[in-house]
Amino acid sequence: MYNTSKVVFSPRVRKSPFFLSTMKYGAKAFTVYNHMYLPISFEGTIPDYNNLLKGVQLWDVGVERQIQIKGPDAEALSQFLSPRNIKKCSIGQAMYAPLLDFKGGFLNDPVMLKLAEDCYWFSIADGDSLLWVQAIAAGYKFDVEVDEPDVSPLQVQGPNSAELMANVFGDWVHDLGFYRFKEFNHEGIPIVIARMGYSRELCYEIFLQDHSKGDELWECLWQAGQDLNISAGGPNIILRLEGGILSYLSDLDRTNNPYEVGLDWMIDLDQEDDFIGKEALREINIKGPLKKLMGAEIEADPIYESNEDHLPVLIDGKVVGSMNAMVYSPRLDKNLSYVFLDIEHARVGQEIIISSPDKDLKAKLVDLPWLDRAKK
């Protein structure tokens, strides 16, 4: 693994509204995501993970930019963009709504929020999906405005997250259903509070709607969390793999389709409305996928450094897939990994070899996820 000693900040890469707060509270490593700085480590992968599990943690995920679709054809365009049945979504509800290309491949895997009958947000993963949506809207002549609003998410993660949220915003937070949200104004700070987040732990997402209020919102939560073991952190690979959560461009990309990654349950081929990739998905549904994403448990000493590249997966000396992510889970005491395999080899219990630069690693295939979603 390469060692870098310095991150150079510049105007070329944008900062989130919470950037100064993350620096104040010890951000030590960043990656670039959606042309922005994403803090990914404060004390280290495992210490950050442990801190979250024993308290509450703030994550600056302002890099999750929103694509706002507003206007008379907002629902129609949103439906055309995703294989989900968007018409089943009510105001105040969110749903996972992948964006696909015309071959059924993933262009992005956002969560969609329905704010009004004529207003939707797509909270996107890494990628220039705004340009795609604007092009589709213009090319197909949908009567909408598509832009990026002043909205920046902050996630509140961990077993004490509900208590912190209630202490700051009110007891109504306890009644907020999973993947439900409410618009709110807290002491002059306009926000949307959603019961969701990027882990299987108890979590919330706060969508700040005024860039200038970032540090004020962070400090409000930080001070209220002093008796709740509050810490700063960021999206954590251990939590991601334990929960079977996917990371676009790390675990899947445009060469993959929903059938390959276990997301076929969200495809509605029977709906009357057309959507991008519908015919391609219909064909895949009939013929079956060629690959499948599975979990694999690696038989080795704890693996503390995640992989920089996808690694070949072999059976009987033949390459049959790739290993996309791996990490050691302290609470499971296992090395976890995601592997993509040719469909004929994708069965629980199958033994594989992962060819790493240092040595071959023995592993065995398992179903995903390792952990279910935490309950209130």
Could you tell me if residue 271 is inside a domain? yes
Residues 335 and 272 in one domain: yes
Please, are residues 72 and 153 in contact by the beta-carbon 8 Å criterion? no
Residues 285 and 213 in one domain: no
Residue 230 has pLDDT above 60, yes or no: yes
Answer with the one of 240, 275, 293 that is the final residue of a domain: 240
Residue 4 has pLDDT above 90, yes or no: no
pLDDT at 120: 98
What value does the mean pLDDT take over residues 322-336? 98
Question: What residue numbers bound the domain in which 93 lies?
Answer: 66-147
Residue 5 has pLDDT above 60, yes or no: no
Which residue shows structure tokens 């990309």?
Answer: 253
pLDDT in tens, 113-125: 999 999 999 999 9
Residue 2 has pLDDT above 90, yes or no: no
Residues 304 and 356 in one domain: yes
Could you tell me if residue 277 is inside a domain? yes
Which residue shows structure tokens 């209130």?
Answer: 376
Please, are residues 12 and 208 in contact by the beta-carbon 8 Å criterion? no
What is the phi/psi pair of residue 161, to 5°? -65, -40
Could you tell me if residue 14 is inside a domain? no
Could you tell me if residue 331 is inside a domain? yes
What value does the mean pLDDT take over residues 324-347? 97
pLDDT at 374: 78
Q: Give the 3-state DSSP-derived string for 230-244, with helices as H, strands as E and coil as C.
A: EEEECCCHHHHHHCC
Tokens of 134: 């604007």
Please, are residues 282 and 267 in contact by the beta-carbon 8 Å criterion? no
Please, are residues 40 and 82 in contact by the beta-carbon 8 Å criterion? no
Q: Say what percent of the chain tops pLDDT 90.
A: 95
pLDDT at 306: 86
Could you tell me if residue 135 is inside a domain? yes
pLDDT at 366: 98
What value does the mean pLDDT take over residues 67-96? 97
Number of domains making up the chain: 3
pLDDT at 373: 83
Could you tell me if residue 346 is inside a domain? yes
pLDDT at 282: 98
pLDDT at 305: 85
Calculate the average pLDDT of the chain.
96
Query: How many whole angstroms separate alpha carbon 71 and alpha carbon 87?
Result: 16
What is the CATH number for 360? 2.40.30.110
Please name the helix (run of DSSP H) or strand (run of DSSP E) that holds residue 365, with its range, or none.
Answer: strand 360-366
Tokens of 34: 């959606």
**97 closest CA partner among 115, 107, 85, 82:** 82
pLDDT at 7: 78
What value does the mean pLDDT take over residues 281-304? 97
Could you tell me if residue 9 is inside a domain? no
pLDDT at 149: 98
- Upstream peptide bond of 369 is cis (omega within 30 degrees of 0): yes
What value does the mean pLDDT take over residues 44-71? 98
What value does the mean pLDDT take over residues 317-339? 98
Residue 133 has pLDDT above 90, yes or no: yes
Answer with the one of 102, 129, 147 that is the final residue of a domain: 147
Task: Identify the DSSP state of 170.
Answer: -
Residue 1 has pLDDT above 90, yes or no: no
Could you tell me the strand order of the sheet in which 94-96 lies? 94-96, 111-116, 119-123, 66-70, 145-147
Least confident range from 7-16, 200-209, 277-286: namely 7-16
Could you tell me if residue 90 is inside a domain? yes
Answer with the one of 147, 163, 184 that is the final residue of a domain: 147
What share of residues in the chain are helix, strand, coil (percent, to 5)? 25, 35, 45
Query: How many whole angstroms separate alpha carbon 282 and alpha carbon 120?
Result: 27
Residue 182 has pLDDT above 60, yes or no: yes
Binned at pLDDT 50, 70 and 90, residue 3 comes out as low
Residues 138 and 181 in one domain: no
Query: How many whole angstroms separate alpha carbon 107 and alpha carbon 165?
Result: 33
Please, are residues 61 and 38 in contact by the beta-carbon 8 Å criterion? yes
pLDDT at 190: 98
CB atoms within 10 A of CB 145: 13
pLDDT at 376: 62
Residue 375 has pLDDT above 70, yes or no: no
Q: Say what percent of the chain tops pLDDT 70.
A: 98
Binned at pLDDT 50, 70 and 90, residue 200 comes out as very high
Please, are residues 327 and 241 in contact by the beta-carbon 8 Å criterion? yes
Binned at pLDDT 50, 70 and 90, residue 53 comes out as very high
Query: How many whole angstroms separate alpha carbon 104 and alpha carbon 126?
Result: 18
pLDDT in tens, 237-255: 999 999 999 999 999 999 9
Query: How many whole angstroms separate alpha carbon 52 and alpha carbon 229?
Result: 9
Please, are residues 255 and 342 in contact by the beta-carbon 8 Å criterion? no
Residues 38 and 162 in one domain: yes
Please, are residues 77 and 89 in contact by the beta-carbon 8 Å criterion? no
Residues 138 and 189 in one domain: no
